[in-house]
Structure 1
């Protein structure tokens, strides 16, 4: 029987390095990891499942990996993924990514024999993706934060078009000046929403200036810049504000109150996402509905198909947004 020590000796690495390479753990060069794996295959070395290898056969499991499960967005993703997984005959495992280089969630996923992984708002490292690829576990990214999908399946929405719809709506409702609250970090979808909103305004008013205030994606606080901007709007003008998320739109409500401006009389507000809290604001928030549950469900169905041998789509799957008009406009 071939031992790990023999594999390590032939590959020219330590036993601990060989173990980490075969388990997908730790940081090392791709060439080292591949050399160890090639030697293991050549010698016929077989790892036992309990030591970190993928169990033989695939369980009827799909993993949803998010950075947290305590937001309205995460609730929507989980609900959509859970329903689609059940319909396809799979159980859904909730895995939380921790901001810790020692976090071995891909190894844990491989050990339990998951049939596929749905990543939400996460940028996995090359090593993490390597662990899943080596085990033959398909990956789909929902709402990728970067323009490149790195060869993975992905599901997204019409961010640019949705933001353009928000701009057209604010123009049609009589806004005479405009502003945008944009999310940081500047993810792919945030850039698309900013470009879509400003481009649509400039299509009708080429010389228009649109101040952009940066805020945390989950921020619902009144930012001093927004309060100051609203106070400087002359009496009789209506400012149209587009926020890149509903949480940031709630911050615009707070800023309007602090600046003694009324929604929708003085300030028209449109958000993006249509999470459950949007309709509970006073007045209820007009927003661009992002089909979060449908996006998660679509991603799960892609994974279920991939588990049967079907290739993941090479191009992103894009689901449409739609404008929801409520009391804030």
Structure 2
């Protein structure tokens, strides 16, 4: 698009050239009325916001599906990618990995439109209204995979039973003899993290109304969880077996390091349960008891919800968690 065309659209709509540019590139979070006015003016002036060669192919159906994530190449997203790729291949589609960059001028929705994707799975991020509108105007189906928060748009989402998983972790720790508890929540406090913590604490209160629960927070990384757990573990040391629940396996690994710093034995002094069951959970010493999130299956279900006509109009697809009991909660006296 030339500078003259940008200027003409700006004059027609009474906004700045930079605002026009952001709307036509799908960048930023512009109000829906302003965005609609700019797009309408662009069409009236004879210019498609996609450019002449952009948008979905007209000659044949697309055989490409986009998976949009904020980052790649960690244990969780590796599982997501594997599940999505397998499902796409089984249905005769190729999977394109699209990185969402947390910068104002990121134009990933326009790049997807330019490819002519058959649909978009958006995982672990929350797209802006403008980004969703660009995809919707191109007629692209969208499925959210484990979204950070709820959205007002009528979109299908795939997730797991986070609250039930937290409750099962609590029940297991109580059965194993824990009477004092530490909960490592995540910051930012995403939807799924809140559900896991709420499920855990509700179950503990139902089973042991007078139990002491200390809540700490980490930024979803092991080092931050280690720092957060140190004072809580020091205060609880010597008061019987402690039950610790971390909202992710990564933060559970940080709790292991804090326990080592204080000379606490796992599971004799401290019993630990994580969440996710990524591949590294089995490599900790002792192996980590964790709530398995069916990550590959969730990614597969998201792709199938895009492509299979039998998926219907179900708005929330939930796959169940399951507790994987390992050495971090099996006390030595029990074999």
Secondary structure of the residue aligned to 1:223 is helix
* Partner residue in 2 for 1:171: 174
User: How many residues matched?
Assistant: 324
Q: Secondary structure at the match of 1:179?
A: strand
**Which runs of structure 2 are paired with 1:64-83 in the superposition (5 Å)?**
64-83=67-86
Counterpart of 2:263 (choices 260, 280, 288) is 260
* Distance of 1:233 and 1:32 partners within structure 2: 56
**Match in the other structure for 2:36:** 34
Q: Which segment is superposed worse, 141-150 or 111-120?
A: 141-150
| Matching of residues 151-170 of structure 1 within 5 Å | 151-170=154-173
**Residue correspondence of structure 1 range 201-212 to structure 2 within 5 A:** 201-212=204-215
Runs (5+) with no aligned partner, structure 1: none
User: Does the CA contact (< 8 Å) of 1:153 and 1:312 recur in 2?
Assistant: no
Which 5+ residue runs of structure 2 have no aligned equivalent?
330-335
Structure 1 distance, partners of 2:22, 2:237, is: 64
| SS of residue paired to 1:269 | strand
1:234 Cα deviation from its structure 2 partner: 4.8
Q: Is the 8 A contact 1:7 1:45 kept in 2?
A: no
Would the aligned equivalents of 2:29 and 2:129 in 1 still touch at CA under 8 Å?
Answer: no
Superposed, which structure 2 residues align to 1:222-237 within 5 Å? 223-235=226-238, 237=240
Partner of 2:290: 287
CA RMSD of aligned residues (A): 2.8
2:252 is the counterpart of 1:249: yes
Matched, 1:142 2:140: no
TM-score (norm: length of structure 2): 0.87
Contact 2:56/2:62 (CA < 8 Å) preserved in 1?
no
Q: Deviations over 1:263-306 (max 9, x none)?
A: 0111100000000000000000000000000000000001113x
In 2, the alpha carbon distance for the partners of 1:210 and 1:321 equals 23
Alignment correspondent of 1:313: 313
8 Å CA contact retained: 1:272, 1:288: yes
Contact 1:221 1:254 in 2 (8 A): no
Partner of 2:273: 270
CA pair 257-188 structure 1, distance change in 2 beyond 3 A: same
Superposed displacement of residue 77, structure 1: 0.3
Map of 1:117 onto structure 2: 120
Distance 1:38 1:225, change over 3 A: closer
Deviation at 1:204, TM superposition (A): 1.3
Contact 2:50 2:113 in 1 (8 A): no
Measured against aligned partners, the alpha-carbon deviations of 1:93-112 in whole angstroms (never above 9, x if no partner) come to 01111110101000000011
Moved more, 14-23 or 285-294: 14-23
